[in-house]
Structure 1
Amino acid sequence: MRRLLALALLAPFPGLAQDAPRAVPVDPSLVQDPAQDWFQHGRNVYESAKRASGQTQLDLYSRAAEIFSQYLTNFPGHENAEAAWWYLGQSCYSTGRIDEAKRAFHTLLNRFGKGRYAAAAAYTLAADHFNNRQYGLAATLFEKQAAIATQPSDRLRGHYYAAKSYELLGQSRPALQHFKTVLNDADPSNVYRTKAALDYGRLIAAGGDHAEALQLFEQVVNSKTESAETRGKAALAAGATAAKLGRFDDSERYFQLILRTPGMEAERVEAQIAMMAAQFEQKNYREVIKIFQSSTLTGEGEVESRRLMLAARAFMMLDRNADAMPLFRQVERLEPPTSDRAFDAAYYRLLCFYRIEGRHVLDQVDAFLQLYGEKFSKDPKLQTARLMKAETLFAEGKVEDAANAYREIESSLLSEKNRVGLEYQRGRCLFEANDYAAAIRSLSSFIQANPSDSRTATALATRGRAYLETGENAKALADFNAVIAASEDRSLLTLAYLDAAEICKRDGNLKQMVDYFQRFLEAELTTDPDAIAKACYWTGWGLVKTSAGAKAIDYLTRAREVAPKRYNKHAGLLLCLVYLSEKNREKLIPEVGLAIEGGYAIDLPEPLIRWAADQAFSSEDFLNAARFYDLIADGENPELAPKEVWRFLGKARLRSGDAAGALTAIDHALQTEEDPAWKADGLADRASALLKLGKSKEATQAVEEGLALRPEGRTGAQLNLVRGDIFLAENQAQEAVRAYILPVELMDDSDQVVKPLAYHKLILALKAAGNTADATQYATELKRKYPNWSPPQD
């Protein structure tokens, strides 16, 4: 409601919707007025800004602000200064310079005080305060606007919103005064009279004056000019007010009006609820149910929960408990779990269940106490629920359980001797029932009275877990430390170490968490794989988070070895991060491979995958490089991946034998490549892929396109090599020789990759051409220049 009102206040001030005052035309040869020129220039720019949009509009408003600011500096006493201050404020507001705008409007108010520009400034400042929920400041300025406004509509607006501001401040008296002012204004153009009537009526009704309020509401309901929506709101208020006055027939008439009148649909659910409530107050429970069942109307959220609650209680009052229970359950689902209405609904549902199936109420009571026991511990309904449980247990002959239930209600009646054992039993039972506060009280009494008892370690461990559940971590940690220091029970020690570590994790004390887990692992207290894996994983996690990743590797590895289903993914992700931080590509590359196989590579950060892909490529592990680049590339949206990713994905696929896949990636890279050198490189790869796919003609075309770009160095050599490969594949050995010999003759001998490969291909071509002498000569040169080079294994 407040937000809608705030939005309404953002509308421009009506009094300035028309043009600003115009100067009287004069002969410019007779009168020179630089101040008027400045003002008119600023106004022209301002008007242009109003007609513009986007950045142009912002720029024009900024320029207008500069002009008016300069005008006011140079001509502060000019006749248009008042208007200029307003235009300056509006220009600043329009460019987001709120503080400057406010200063301009305050200056306008302080210097000129009255008039439509001052009224407009007061309204704008008031609206700003209102929208920022500064209702006190807003009220004062709305009152100022009302006092100095020159137009009746502006004066009424000021009074109305001053009233709303006071209402939101909880100050009914000044709010009523302003609403009354609006109501008493007989101006035919008074558009705020109806709103004021509704608001004034609600305020005086809240103060107990239902009769006058009803008269106001009836005036709006019976209006011939108001919209059905507005009349519907008034009818709803009239119906509720009439019921307060005991005029139930009138109340019913107004609610029925809402239910049958088009345009009043928004109020119909509330009208139905009000009708049901009125009948419920009169104890006409069957009529409540009749209204509920005869309508198809439903509400949402809190509104629907109120409707269902009335119907359910009416069913319950008629002893129709089976009909009431599902409605109470619906209320619980609609309400926040710890709200008052959810608690009431849960209690009434439990009571219905008790009435129907008294001997089976135990589980229902336990659930009720667990959910509401802490917040509503002093509520009589809660004690009634405990009584239900005690009585049911006693009726079933479960004496010990019944005793525990009764002691929940009143334990002071127990003898000191019996209280000791029963406090221990009750504490453990309440903990299992999730009533942690009561468990803590019972266990504390036991521990304090019996520090040397053999059960004290168990009591400490249980109380520690209860503290953990209630968020009292420091107390829980103290209990677990006491167990670790005093107990030799392996199961209790396991619990204490693991829960102590969990507390440290929650509190962000990671080094202490790691210490607890490491001590647990060193003590070898259990063979439970879940406990061991948990300790290993969180030790590794803590070491990674505390910048000790190298020490985490063994723990994380063991965690997924012991419990692979649970920790394969999470341990693997952490190991990837560790290996990346250490720049350990030998470990990272297979770890990323495991992530792919395990289906969790999507959770790896893209920079990590990119680095692993680059490392795999540089180490000529092209199969993994292709797999890794493929994680980054998106075939459906190729433009989302960097072109470098597509480029190297193509190369990796090409080198790993996937020519078809390589061609797809290479084409994606070429679509956005603008650099001639890289484009030529991509065309060389494209030609190689096409050749492997048996598409010699298309491969030749790619080579020619690449060579046309005049590439230098390796790229040019690579294109000639592919050209030679095409000729050789077509049994044109002599042409292949001419293609291969170019990189052999032109490339520097320092090149250890392409040139020896060119030698190798040239030798094969010469042999195919029958020129064994030259082939032998080049083979000798290859061996001499590159003694350690070996031909690639295709």
Structure 2
Amino acid sequence: MRFLSLLLALIATVTLASAQDAPLVADPGHDQFEFCKQLYRQANAMQVEQERVRAYQQLAPRLEQYINRFPRHANAPAASYYLGECYYQSGYLDSARQVLHGVINRYKTGRYVALSANRLGYDAFVNKRYNQAAIYFEKVATMSDTAKERYRGRYQEASCYRYSGQTDQAIKSYSLIEAAQDAPVVYRENATLRLGYLYFSKKELQRALDKFASLVKPGIAANIRVDAALNAGLISQQMKKGDDAVSYFKMVMLSKEEKFKSRAQAAMMNSLYASKDYQAVFDTMKRGNYPGKPATEAIKFTLAGRSAYQLKRYDLAIKYFAEAERQIPLSKEAFEAGYYRLLCFFNIKGSNIPKQVDAFLEVYQPRFPRQPKIHKALLMKAETLFDENKFREAASAYNQITPELVGEDNLANLLFKRGWCLSESGDHNGAIRSFTDFLKLYPDDERSPSVIARRGKSYLSLGDRASALRDFDELIKRFPQNKLAALAWQNSARIKKEAQDYPEMIRRYESMLISFPKLGKATEANAQYWIGWGNYQIKDYEKAIPALEQASEMMPEEYGFNSQMLLIYCSYAQKDKARLQSAVNAVRKKDQGHQIQPQIYRWLGVQCFNGGELKDAERFLGLGSTPEDPRQTPKAFWKMLGHARVEIGKNEEALVALGHFLDVVEEPFWKAEALLDQAKAYLGVGKLDEAKTSAEDGLALRPKGDVNTALRLVLGDIAFSSQDYETAAKSYVVVVEVHEADKKVRADALYKLYQALNKSGKATEAKVYLNTLNKEFPDYLKK
């Protein structure tokens, strides 16, 4: 034994001496990694985010260099993981994911593979890619070094399955944690709690209860224990285990976990109410104020209110129901509380029951139209009003009540007034039912015309034009002299208008006017307008025009504009210049000229132009032009507009119109005519050089006839205005001696030639042409 001890000591001495004598080996890969690791820790420790991100960004290239230089070093996985984290913390997520994927794919196992998988798992989880996240967390669960990290990974894996709706997979993962003795307690307890919830979602109540109950014992974390107790109570309640449920709920209410107490209190009150222990419900309510979510508070106040109602403590019940109604406005729970509050008032013969019911119905009837309690609330109101003999008001309350409840003596009045009130309030289906019952039971009642008319309007409001038309025709047939027949004619005509049966619409309006010649002005004007409108639609313009004129004359404010617009279309279709011009002027007086289409203005302008009405032609052609987009106006209209403006002295405006024409014209003769007008316009504004250029350009196109003559006259006028009288005379003499011209042009040319020669000092020659003027046109100078 002593020998063995000496041998072991000797071996240890030799080993120690060998280790001390071994030469030092340089490991730059280790040294540089340690430096990088130190920089990484420093970056992690920085408190200012911008500085921290900058440190990560500065470290990333160093780590890349390290990995490229030492790809097989033992620290390469760690360096690669740190690089991925640097990218991730710097916001370069795609680069981070790529690097971390590389760690997992290259190294397969180890701490840094687990850490990379953990980061990628959280990244996928945040982006709601739960299935992918679960795969990463499973790697964390199998590769991490410590039990805490492994079971944290397993717990996250289970959570991913839960979020993705894979309940069975989640149960499997949570069960692995629950069964593992080396798993941290917090994970095992939370796994059991989650298993309870998952079994409950699968409606496996007993298994869920077993899980929750196993957590209701000393040593379990308080928040988990109380959460489990609450759910154990709820499941026990559902499984009709009332005593067990109450015990669990009491346990919750006696705990220090405030957030669970409100639900426990509500659930406990529900159990006690189900067992008809109404006083115990009150006692539980008074046990403490544990405010919870509005839905929970609504349940508590409703249960307290119902218990008070059962004990006939109506004043207290009203208070509780009002609180319940306020918790979740307009919800089903609020509706129930509101109804029971009404019922309490009804039982104590409270005041203003009808108004309270109206307020209740206004809020809840649109949302819960088929709920029996709506019917019962209406019955409360109807009975109260009926006892006060307010039958007209009661009709609205009897909307869904069997009519026989009010008795035979009041049935006709009830049906009539109910139908009337329902039609006024917009419940046209209800009105039709009531009116139909009335006509079926009382066809000869003096109110039948009103009922038929009202029912027809209700059908019309519902869009049932066929049924409405049948009612209006029945009214006309059965009661032709009743004033309501006029209403029937009018409404039936509107139906025909909607159906685009314009001849029948016209017939009905005309029949109304014949049958009732003393109708009010508004009704008659309305009929005349639609008669005119209908005839316009069928292109019977001759009949449309007088009706439209009458409507416009009777009520100009109501129908003036629309009638005049239709008169414009009728006149345009008939090519009636005078009526069209009158209608256009009427519309423009109302500052509505922009409503008239350009082609109408253009057509009217052309007619005025051809008729020599150049001022009107200029006005209408101008209204029909598009100076903001000249090419939208056909070029011929620009030419006419320019000429008209020259003739009436609007030379600046003429130049604009002629410019638009000359920009696009190609025909030489048209261009020559436009250049003639342009020369005149330039002359009119005193731009003599531009005028001369335009006139010469026009002559260069070699026009014949009057255009050539007029261009030479204009050249003469330009020279005359420049006091170049000899040149002016040369232009005038060509017109007089060479060109054939009409008498007016020849007379003007002789007179202008006389003036030019006289101005240039050639009085003798001037006198010759003056004598010719007096001989050929003896009255010219007198004029």
Category of TM-score, reference length = shorter chain: 0.5 to 0.7
Does the 8 A contact of 2:450 with 2:484 survive in 1? Answer: yes
Residues 350, 364 of structure 1: 8 Å contact kept: no
2:659 is equivalent to residue 667 of structure 1 = yes
Task: Give the Cα–Cα distance (whole angstroms) in 2 for the partners of residues 414 and 362 of structure 1.
Answer: 19
Q: Which amino acid aligns with 1:400?
A: F
**What SS does structure 2 have at the residue aligned with 1:500?**
helix
Q: Partner of 2:751 in structure 1?
A: 764
Note closer, same or farther for the CA distance 1:214–1:401 as it changes in structure 2 (3 Å cut): farther
Q: Is 1:443 matched with 2:435?
A: yes
Residues 546 and 591 (structure 1), Cα distance of their counterparts in 2 relative to 1, 3 Å cut: same
Find the counterpart in structure 2 of residue 646 from structure 1. Answer: 638
Contact 2:497 2:505 in 1 (8 A): yes
Give 1:455's aligned amino acid: R
In the alignment, the residues of structure 2 paired with residue 283 and residue 589 of structure 1 have an alpha-carbon distance, to the nearest angstrom, of 82
> 2:339 and 2:751 mapped to 1: Cα distance?
96
Q: Does 1:210 align with 2:143?
A: no
List runs of 5+ in structure 2 lacking aligned partners: 1-130, 140-156, 175-194, 203-207, 213-222, 225-261, 268-289, 297-319, 346-350, 759-765
The alignment status of 1:690 with 2:682, answered yes or no, reads yes
Distance 1:670 1:381, change over 3 A: farther
**How far is 1:531 from its partner?**
1.6
Pairing 1:575–2:567 present: yes
Residue 632 of structure 1 pairs with residue 619 of structure 2: no
Q: Which residues in structure 2 correspond to 1:735-750 (within 5 Å)?
A: 735-743=727-735
The C-alpha deviation readout for 1:102-147, integer Å capped at 9, x for no partner, is xxxxxxxxxxxxxxxxxxxxxxxxxxxxxxxxxxxxxxxxxxxxxx
CA distance in 2, matches of 1:436, 1:589: 48
Identity %: 28
Aligned amino acid, residue 400 of structure 2: I
User: Alpha carbons of 1:516 and 1:362: their partners in 2 closer, same or farther (altered >3 Å)?
Assistant: farther
User: Does structure 1 residue 615 correspond to structure 2 residue 625?
Assistant: no
| Preserved contact between residue 759 and residue 782 of structure 1 (Cα < 8 Å) | no
Cα deviations by residue, 1:314-372 (Å, 9 ceiling, x for unpaired): xx9993867966xx6xxxxxxxxxxxx9xx89979998999999875677678679x95
- Give the Cα–Cα distance (whole angstroms) in 1 for the partners of residues 173 and 723 of structure 2: 104
- Whether the aligned pair in 1 keeps the contact of 2:391 and 2:414 (CA below 8 Å) is no
Any idea what SS the aligned residue of 2:405 has? coil
Cα distance change of structure 1 residues 573 and 406 upon mapping to structure 2, 3 Å threshold: closer
- Equivalent positions of 1:266-665 (< 5 A) are 288=293, 319=323, 372=366, 378-380=370-372, 383=375, 386=378, 390=382, 399-410=390-401, 411-487=403-479, 491-665=483-657
Q: Give the direction of change, closer, same or farther, for the CA distance of 1:614–1:365 in structure 2 (3 Å limit).
A: farther
Deviations 1:656-711 (A, max 9, x none): 33222222222233333344433333222222222222333432233233333333
Task: Measure the CA separation in 2 of the matches of 1:760 and 1:525.
Answer: 67
User: Which position in structure 1 is the counterpart of 2:117?
Assistant: none
CA-based RMSD of the aligned residues comes to: 5.3
Structure 2 CA distance for partners of 1:639 and 1:520, relative to 1, 3 Å: same
Contact persistence 1:580–1:588 (CA under 8 A): yes
Distance 1:211 1:290, change over 3 A: same
Please name the residue that 1:14 is paired with.
none
Q: In structure 1, how many angstroms separate the alpha carbons of the residues matched to 2:265 and 2:748?
A: 104
**Contact in 2 for aligned 1:728/1:765 (Cα 8 Å):** no
Cα offset, 1:480, TM superposition: 1.5
Instruction: Give the Å deviation of 1:555.
Output: 0.6
> Any idea what the Cα deviations from partners look like across 1:730-777, whole Å, max 9, x if unmatched?
56566445434545666666xxxxx44422421431453454653464
**How far apart in 2 are the matches of 1:745 and 1:242?**
120
Aligned twin of 2:16: none
Contact 1:762–1:775, Cα closer than 8 Å, also in 2: no
- Taking a change above 3 Å as real, the CA distance of residues 359 and 416 of structure 1, as seen in their structure-2 partners, is closer
Letter in 2 for 1:444: T
Contact 1:430–1:438 at 8 Å: present in 2 too?
Answer: yes
Deviations 1:208-234 (A, max 9, x none): x634479899xxxxxxxxxxxxxxxxx
1:130-279 matches, within 5 Å, as 205=165, 210-212=167-169, 244=201
Distance 1:711 1:539 in 2: 55
Per the TM alignment, residue 588 of structure 1 is displaced from its structure 2 partner at its CA by 1.7
* Secondary structure at the counterpart of residue 533 of structure 2: helix
Cα distance in 2 for partners of 1:352, 1:627 equals 76
Deviation at 1:553, TM superposition (A): 0.4
Structure 1 CA distance for aligned equivalents of residues 168 and 382 of structure 2: 51
2:285 corresponding residue in structure 1: none
Larger of the two Rg values belongs to structure: 2
| Cα separation, 1, equivalents of 2:328 and 2:735 | 91
TM-score normalized by the length of structure 1: 0.53
Cα gap change, 1:676/1:764 in structure 2, threshold over 3 Å: closer, same or farther?
same
Verify the 8 A CA contact 1:321 1:353 in the aligned structure 2.
Answer: no
Instruction: Give, in angstroms, the shift of residue 534 of structure 1.
Output: 1.5
How far, CA to CA, are the matches of 1:346 and 1:592 in structure 2?
A: 63
Compared CA separation, residues 422 and 696, structure 1 to 2 (3 A): same
* Alpha-carbon separation, structure 2, partners of 1:346 and 1:717: 96
By how many angstroms is 1:498 displaced? 1.0
TM-score (norm 2): 0.54
Cα drift, residue 540 of structure 1: 0.9
Shift of 1:496: 1.2
Q: 1:571 to 1:733 in 2, by over 3 A?
A: farther
Q: What displacement does 1:542 show?
A: 0.8
Deviation track 1:37-79 (CA, whole Å, cap 9, x = no partner) reads: xxxxxxxxxxxxxxxxxxxxxxxxxxxxxxxxxxxxxxxxxxx
Count of residues in correspondence between the two structures: 505
Deviation at 1:506, TM superposition (A): 0.7
Paired amino acid for 1:654: V
What is the CA distance between 1:381 and its match in structure 2? 6.7
**Cα gap change, 1:402 to 1:579, in 2 (>3 Å):** closer
- Assess if the C-alpha contact under 8 Å between 1:759 and 1:779 holds in 2: no
Q: 1:515, CA displacement in angstroms?
A: 0.5
| AA of the residue aligned to 1:611 | W
CA contact 1:353–1:361 (8 Å) conserved in 2: no
Any unmatched runs of 5+ in structure 1? Answer: 1-179, 189-196, 218-237, 251-278, 292-315, 329-340, 750-754, 785-789
Aligned pair 1:699/2:691, yes or no?
Answer: yes
CA–CA separation in structure 2 for the residues paired with 1:747 and 1:362: 101
Q: Once the two structures are superposed, what CA deviation does each residue of 1:445-468 show, in whole Å capped at 9, x if it has no partner? A: 222233332221111111111111
Cα pair 1:763 1:779 within 8 Å, conserved: no
Q: How many angstroms does 1:514 deviate by?
A: 0.5
- CA distance, structure 2, for counterparts of residue 499 and residue 520 of structure 1: 11
- Show the counterpart of 1:311: none
**Distance between the aligned counterparts of 1:761 and 1:456, measured in 2?**
87
CA distance in 1, matches of 2:482, 2:513: 12
Q: Could you say which structure has the greater relative contact order, defined with CA pairs below 8 angstroms and 6 or more residues apart? A: 1
2:769 to 753, 774, 779: 774
Q: CA deviation at 1:574?
A: 1.5
1:351–1:780 CA distance, 2 compared to 1 (3 A): farther
